[in-house]
Every structure is written in structure tokens, then in C-alpha cells.
Amino acid sequence: MSPRRVEVAVVGGGAVGAATALALDQAGFAVALVEGLHPAPFDPDRVDARVYALSPASLALLARLGVRDALAALRASRYTRMQVWQDQPERGLGFDAGLIGERELGWIVEDAALRQVLWDALGRSRVDVRVPARVERFEPGANDVRIALDGGAPIRASLVVAADGADSPLRALAGLAVDPVPYGESGVVAHVRTTRSHESTAWQRFTPEGPLAFLPLADGRSSIVWSVRDALARELLRLPDDAFAARVGDAFQHRLGEVAVDGERLAVPLRLQLARRWVGPRIALAGDAAHAVHPLAGQGLNLGLLDVGALVATLVEAREGRADLGAPDTLRAYERWRQGDVAIAARAFDLIAGLFRSDVPGLTWLRATGLALVDRLTPVKREFAWHAAGFAGRVPPLCARLATP
């Protein structure tokens, strides 16, 4: 069977892979997308348990891809404020969007909603979408790379992008190693109702068991993520709804009043995982295939969408210079751009999570004092806000700040 020739083949149809394919298509590249499963459609009657906190940089990219407005209509919840504390809320750290001149600090969106708008856009694009299909062989050559699929014609491309998740089969086929470090923790996820409004605020308390986040949903509920040791996660999942709600309410110091569970509960194993190399012969990693980080700051997907912006900018520059898209120099430019920044962010999340887990005498006071001090130092607090927004450091053009009225 004769292979189809494209410039870039993207493997993985999640948010990062779909966004990569769309952005490359929009930039004028010939693109194929390979995905193993048709994405589950958005259900207007059921809120997905898996949600993301999208930063302004991520929202800027989605706006430039032409999907942000459609996403807004699918239960996206805008939040304008963040509040973080340990033991005493009045000694915590809080900031709002106005600190960095934005109207909002981000949106809480459902995984199914984000996939829906991205795949709808793929259906309107020129991208050659192969679904269901999986890569069976990865065969890089001097001038291009051939990927054989388990169904349909093989694909030849100048470059293959692995965006197929933290357990990336393509990364393994390409022989790119990762260094997984299990935390021995799981993120317990659920939707809850509270007797007081979430105030369009993303809340996080560093509890003795681990960080507990309350993320505001559009229907007035909150999506919680409580990162705890695996044994406690199993215990929390076994509890009846009322007992689980009481544990969560106590851990959250009833900041939003009484808590009631509303929906399923699940636990997601957590790990720190960084690829040793982001690129190889005619392949580049993006998103979770390159990095899995602690959910402490909700930055996993945002880091992945910054990868998308950086990769597309690198390939556009290579094309303008008539360079080979899959050449080592091209791919190393992308790797230099993103690998160091992601490693620093991942280690910072890891350090902060470990610092707030520690029960070393005196650290409780020091942590609370540190949060209170940062809250009083506006320039430092603004720098935190810029990082949370995705606008710190070298920002890809696709993710650059949009003009705000």
C-alpha cells in the first residue's frame, strides 16, 4: 500500500495532539493526525469528572485556533481570583486578574468539551485524520520517516510528533527514555456542592495530607482535586458520600460552608516524569509524552499547550529558512526552548509539594509566614500571577497575550 506523504504526522488526538495538528494546518503545513479512539462526545447532561484550569496563554492559543468561543459555550467557567493558604486563611496568598491587567485568570473546562471543539475544528480543516489507527512501526530515514499503522495506508513525513500521553507508545518505539518518579500519591477527584458560592475563585489549601483544590464550575459546583498518599486515597474512595464530604469539608476548613458530593469519585496516580531527550531522529515529543508534573498548580496541560506554540513557531522558522523540518538542528531548537523551562517548573512544583508535606518542626510557621509575606509584596505576587497566566519567560507567538479592552 503506497504511503501518504505529509510534512508532519501528529500521533495522539488529545488536547495537545489535536491543537498541534490544527496549528500546523493553520500555518500551511500538510498534516496527518493518528489517534487510536474516537473521542467521547460532550454530554450536555453530565459534567465530566476530568477538568482543566486553562491559563490565559492557553486561551490565547485556542482563540487563535478559532475554538475558544465554541469552548465558552460548553460550560466553561471563568475564574478571576486565586486564594492559597495553609492553616489560617487570613495569612494566605491571594491575587486577582487585575494584578496583571487581565479580565480573568483562566477557565475551568471539561476534558470532553475541549476535545469536542478541537475535533470539530479538525473536521473543518485539511488535516488527514486517521482514527481509529495506531502506530505499529516507526522507521526514520535520512530524508523522512515512515510510520506503519494497524489499519490503512502508512504515512511518510518529514517529522512525527509524539503527543500520545504519558505512557506514549510512540516514544517507546523511538527509543526515547523517561525518568518516572512515582509520588506514592493519587489525586482524588470529585464534584461537590457547597452552601456558599465559590466566588469565581480557584481555592487551594495545603492540608497536612496534601494540597486540596476547589475549582469553580459553571453550574455553581466545584471540582475538587485532593493529592494524598495512595493508602488515604483508597480509604477516601471507600467512604460513603456523606463521610467523604465531611472529610473534605473539614480539610478545607469549611471555607465555602458545608460540602455535599455530587457525582462520581476517582483517584488518579501521580508521578513526576521527564523525558531525557525531547527529540530524536525525525521525532519530537510534546505534552505528557515529554513531561508529567504534579497537579499542584494545575499547569500540566498549560505546559503542553506552550509546547504546541513553541513547536509550531520552530517549524515555521525552519520553513522560512528552507531547513529540513526533521533535521537535528531544527528539533534541537525546539528542545532547547522547552525542555529547560519545563524541568524548572516541574522541579518547582515538586519542591513546593514536598515542602508543604513536611512535618519538620518550625516549617508550619515558616510556610504560613512565607505565604503571608508574598501576599504583601506586590511585585513578587505579580510575578507569581504572570507565571500562572503563562506569560513569563519566552512565550510562543500563538500563546502571546491577547489585547484586553
Give the Cβ contact number of residue 111 at 10 Å: 18
Q: Are 36 and 132 in contact (CB under 8 A)?
A: yes
- Measured at the CA of 125, the angle between CA 119 and CA 126, to 5 degrees, comes to 130
Closest CA to 212 of 235, 189, 245, 246: 189
The CA distance from 330 to 322, in Å, is 11
Tell me the three cell numbers of residue 141: 530515514
Query: Which residues are within 8 A (CB) of 123 and not within 5 positions of it... i.e. 6 or more apart?
Result: 129
Q: What is the pLDDT of residue 303?
A: 94
pLDDT per position in the chain (405 positions), as tens?
A: 556 899 999 999 999 999 999 999 999 999 999 999 999 999 998 888 889 999 999 999 999 999 999 999 999 999 999 888 887 777 777 788 888 888 999 999 999 999 999 999 999 999 999 999 999 999 999 999 999 999 788 999 999 999 999 999 999 999 999 989 888 999 999 999 999 999 999 999 988 898 999 999 999 999 999 999 999 999 999 999 999 999 999 999 999 999 999 989 999 999 889 999 999 999 999 999 999 987 765 678 999 999 999 999 999 999 999 999 999 999 999 999 999 988 888 777 665 655 545 454 444 544 455 555 555 556 666 777 787 888 888 999 999 998 754
Q: In the prediction, which pLDDT does 358 show?
A: 46
Q: Quick one: pLDDT at residue 335?
A: 97
Of 90, 94, 91, the C-alpha closest to 105 is 94
What nine digits make up the cell of 286?
510534546
**pLDDT (0 to 100) of residue 281:** 97
Taking each helix axis from N to C terminus, what angle separates 363-376 and 378-389, rounded to the nearest 10 degrees? 90
What whole-number distance in Å separates Cα of residue 211 and Cα of residue 300? 16
d(CA 402, CA 362): 44
* CATH number 3.50.50.60 given to 4-180+273-399: yes
> pLDDT at position 121, please?
98
Q: Dihedrals φ, ψ of 229, to 5°? A: -60, 150
Whether residue 225 contacts residue 295, with contact meaning beta carbons closer than 8 Å, is answered with yes
Q: CA 110, 113, 117 angle in degrees (round to 5)?
A: 145
Measured distance CA(272)–CA(282) in Å, rounded: 26
Neighbouring CB atoms inside 10 A of 107's CB total 24
Please state, in angstroms and rounded to a whole number, the distance separating the CA atoms of residues 312 and 283. 14
* Residue 120 identity (one-letter amino acid): D
Is 284:329 a contact under the CB 8 Å cutoff?
A: no
**Residues paired with 213 in a beta bridge:** 204, 225
Q: Look at residues 11, 8, 6, 2 and name the one whose alpha carbon lies nearest to residue 286.
A: 11
Q: At what angle do helices 56-64 and 15-26 cross, to 10 degrees?
A: 50
Which is it for strands 155-157 and 4-5: parallel, antiparallel or unpaired?
A: parallel
Kindly give, in sequence order, each residue whose CB lies less than 8 Å from that of residue 405, ignoring residues fewer than 6 positions away: none
14 membership: H or E segment, kind and range: none
Of 256, 228, 206, 213, nearest in space to 368 by CA? 206
Question: What contacts 199, CB < 8 A, 6 or more positions away?
Answer: 81, 216
Handedness of CA 321, 325, 330, 336 (dihedral sign): positive
Using a cut of 0.85, tell me whether the model's pTM lies above it: yes
Rg (CA), the chain: 21
Residue 318: its pLDDT value, please?
97
**Cβ partners under 8 Å of residue 287, min gap 6:** 12, 14, 15, 16, 17, 163, 165, 301, 303, 304, 307, 308
Supply the pLDDT for residue 282. Answer: 97
